[in-house]
Structure 1
Amino acid sequence: MVLAVMLVGVTGANPAAAHWNGTGQDIASIAIYPYSYNSTWQTPMNAALSNWNATASPANFYKSTYSGSTITVSSYSDTWYGYYQRCGGSCMYVRLNSRTINRDASNFANFVTSTLVHEFGHALNLAHNSLTSIMNTSRNRNTMTKPQSHDVADVNSYY
């Protein structure tokens, strides 16, 4: 019983509708080492940062040469579009799979933005869900490019 009380004190109350995975970053202000790709990739990747930063949440993604967090675009043999990996409480690696994105995108810029906004959701401790959400793995990546109200509510509840 004491352990349950301590956990509530650390993470806050867990609303029944919240979808957290607890594998994200310790704080919602996340530095990323500056990335440099051609404008076909750079523009939608920058839009992903802006789309989270524009929400009414504590999410703040910014570039800093002092960060160990990286975003890498490469061709991977795996089937995923994006992959988030925690490397510490203030460190993350995000990979974007150019092979699958190029293959499946009908609106390339939106697809890249949607994929990266989704991976940033994992950095903010969000888990997959089946709602109208950037965290829904079945969402239309060609059209949904911004965190939805449920995503913002979950981030606000977590942090």
Structure 2
Amino acid sequence: MALSDLRARNAKRKASRLLAATLAGIVCVSISATPASAHWNGTGQLIARIGLYPYNYNDTWQKPMNKALANWNATSSPADIYKNRNSGSTITVKSYRNTWYGHYTRCGDSCLYIKLNSRTINRDASNFSNYVTGVFVHELGHALNLAHNSTTSIMNHSRNRDTMTKPQSHDVSDVNAYY
């Protein structure tokens, strides 16, 4: 066999290996891509371990807010939400003119602001404690990169805020898939 034929055969083998490796990479990317059912907004925190500056409200607010942290921490997700005096992330409860119940804002890779609207919550809650817990769990969902959706989810804008107080299986799956 001539030297030029050997070079041509080796070049074909290299090209075949490169093509096989490329196709394998594409298959891996396709398999690990975002699930079709995932609902992420990408505006949350970089990691699921979130420190919040300790908030201090009367027991009417404090207990359901603490329950919201416990509800996320009790899931099988990597969510670890805790109070830390060195955190720049804050939770504020006050009466806002806006119509929302809660509002999440990202202020950096590991910084967030959550506002709970006492005006709308007091006005609309039948079960105040559950309402506060559910709204806060929802806003923490945004911090964990979850977007609104229309499934059985704490992130469903039309959920029953008087009864749904915990992340649902869909929420936990989305957090697990994201992190």
Length-normalised TM-score, structure 1: 0.93
Shift of 1:25: 0.2
Q: 1 CA distance for matches of 2:174 and 2:132?
A: 23
Partner of 1:91: 111
Matched position secondary structure for 1:49? helix
Shift of 1:135: 0.1
Partner of 2:157: 137
Partner of 2:65: 45
Q: 2 CA distance for matches of 1:72 and 1:18?
A: 29
Length-normalised TM-score, structure 2: 0.83
Partner of 1:22: 42
Q: 1 CA distance for matches of 2:128 and 2:157?
A: 17
1:1-159 equivalences under 5 Å are 13-159=33-179
Q: 1 CA distance for matches of 2:163 and 2:64?
A: 13
- Segments of 5+ residues of structure 1 without an aligned counterpart are none
Shift of 1:13: 1.9
Deviations 1:91-120 (A, max 9, x none): 000000000000000000000000000000
Partner of 2:20: none
Q: Which amino acid is the alignment partner of residue 111 of structure 1?
A: Y
Deviations 1:76-98 (A, max 9, x none): 00000000000001000000000
Aligned residues: CA RMSD: 1.3
Deviations 1:45-81 (A, max 9, x none): 0000000000000001000000000000000000000
Matched position secondary structure for 1:140? coil
The structure showing larger relative contact order (alpha-carbon pairs under 8 Å, at least 6 residues apart) is 1
Q: 1 CA distance for matches of 2:170 and 2:52?
A: 25
Segments of 4+ in structure 1 off by > 3 A? none
Matched position secondary structure for 2:132? helix
- Segments of 5+ residues of structure 2 without an aligned counterpart are 1-24
Matched position secondary structure for 2:134? helix
